[in-house]
Amino acid sequence: MSYALQTLWHERQRYVSGVFAVTFSAMLIALQCGLLLGLFKITSIPIDHATPALRDRIIWVGSTGAPSVDLGKPIPAAFLTRLAGRPGIAPPEMYIANFANFTKPVGGTELCFLLGTRLDDEALAPADVLTPELRAALSEPFTIVVDQSDVGRLKLDSSEGKPKINGKEVRVVGVVAGLKSLAAPWVFCSTHTARQLMGPMLPPDHTTYFLARADSPERARQVVTELRDAYPDDMAAYVAEDFSYRSREYWLTRTKAGVAIGYAALLGLIVGAVITYQTLKSATEASAKEFAILLALGIPRWRISVMVLQQSFWVAVIGMGCAYPLCLGLRELARLGGADVDLRWEVLAGTAAVTTFMCAGAGLWALRGVRQIEPMSLLR
C-alpha cells in the first residue's frame, strides 16, 4: 500500500478530482441522512424529553395501534387498574396529548398539540426543559408554555388581544427552547388545564396515555409483554424507547421525506462514483506504459490490479478524511439556522462503508484498462 500512496502523491494532479468527488459524495450522504434523523426526532419530542434519564424504565400505555405519540386516542381511566399494583411498577400517572385549535391574539387559527401533565417533582411526563419556576406557573388554571420558535408563528409577540385554545382564553407564562415542532406547535400545560381546554372532546373519565416507571429496564419490558398478551384488543403498551422509534418511523414512511432525501443522497453517490471511475480510468490509461514495463519485467498482472484497487481505497480514505470536518462545520452552521443534523456514529460508519464500496466498484470498473495492456505496446 505504501507504493500506491507514493503513486497517489506523485500523480496527485491526476487524482485530485476523484478525491473531491468522494469528499462531496460522502459529505452529501452523511448530511442528508443526519438531517433526516434530526428532522424526525422532532416527532417524538414528548417521549424523548419526558424524564430522559429514566427512558428505558418508563412504560407508555395508550390506544391500540397508535402509530405515533401525536395520534393516540382517548382510553378509559379505568385502564389504570391494569397497570397499577404490579410488582416493580410505580403508581401510573395520566398524560393528555390531543390536537386543539389555537386562536392567535391578532385573529386567525392554528392547529396546536396540547400536552397536559402532572407538574410535581416526581412526575414522569413533563418535558425536561420545564424548570421548577415554569412548573409552578403552570399550576395556575389556563396557563400554557410554548417553545420560543413558535412565538412568532402563534403571534404571541403581539400586544393586541389574547390567545385562546378551543375558544377558552389562556395565558402564556413562559417559553422554552429546543422543542421546535414539525407540524402543530407543542403547548405545555397541567392536566387540569388540558381537561378544561379539551372540554367535551375528551370525556372526563378518559385520558390519552398512562405513564409508569419500572424498577429496571428488564422489568419494564416484561410488563409491556404481559400487558400486550393480556389486553391485545383495547390498548397498547410500549417501552419509551420503542414508542419513540415507532413515532419517528411512522412519520418517515407517512411523509415520504425519507425517499426524497434518500434520492438526493443517491444522486450524490452516483456523481461521486462516476467521477471517481473517470479519475481512476484516466490515471490507469496515463500509466499504461509504466504498467507495460512492469509486465515485461515479469510482474504479475494481478499485482498491478491490486495496486489500482489500493489507489481507489486510498482515494476513499482521503476523501472521507476531508469530508468529516466539513460535515461537522456544516452541522454547526445548520444549528445556527435552527436545523438539527444528527451525525451519530451509525451515520458516519454507514457513510464510510457506502463510500468505500463505491470507490472499490469504480476501481474494479477501471481495471478493464489494465487487462488490455500488453508488453508489446512498448515497441509501438
What distance, in Å, lies between the first and last C-alpha atoms of the chain?
31
CA distances from 156 to 140, 174, 371 (A): 19, 11, 71
CA angle 5–6–11, rounded 5-degree value: 100
pLDDT value, residue 286: 64
* CA–CA dist 231, 61 (Å, integer): 11
Cβ partners under 8 Å of residue 70, min gap 6: 43, 46, 97, 99, 113, 184, 247
Name residue 58's beta-bridge partners: 213
Cell matching residue 145: 408554555
* CA–CA dist 364, 366 (Å, integer): 5
Return the number of other C-beta atoms located less than 10 Å from residue 27's C-beta: 23
On whether the CB atoms of residues 267 and 349 are closer than 8 A, the answer is no
Tens place of pLDDT per residue across the chain (380 aa): 455 566 656 666 666 777 787 888 888 888 888 887 887 788 889 999 988 888 889 999 999 978 889 889 999 999 999 988 899 999 999 999 999 999 999 989 999 999 999 999 889 988 888 999 999 999 999 999 999 989 999 999 887 889 999 999 999 999 998 888 877 899 999 999 999 999 989 998 999 999 999 999 999 999 999 999 999 888 999 999 999 999 988 887 776 766 776 677 677 667 767 776 777 667 666 666 666 666 667 777 777 777 777 777 888 888 888 889 999 999 988 888 777 888 888 888 888 888 888 777 777 776 666 666 666 655 55
Which segments of 206-256 does DSSP mark as H helices, in order?
217-230, 240-255
Domain layout of the chain by residue ranges: 2-41+256-379, 44-255
Distance of CA 218 to the CA centre of its chain: 26
pLDDT value, residue 372: 65
Closest CA to 46 of 205, 176, 203: 176
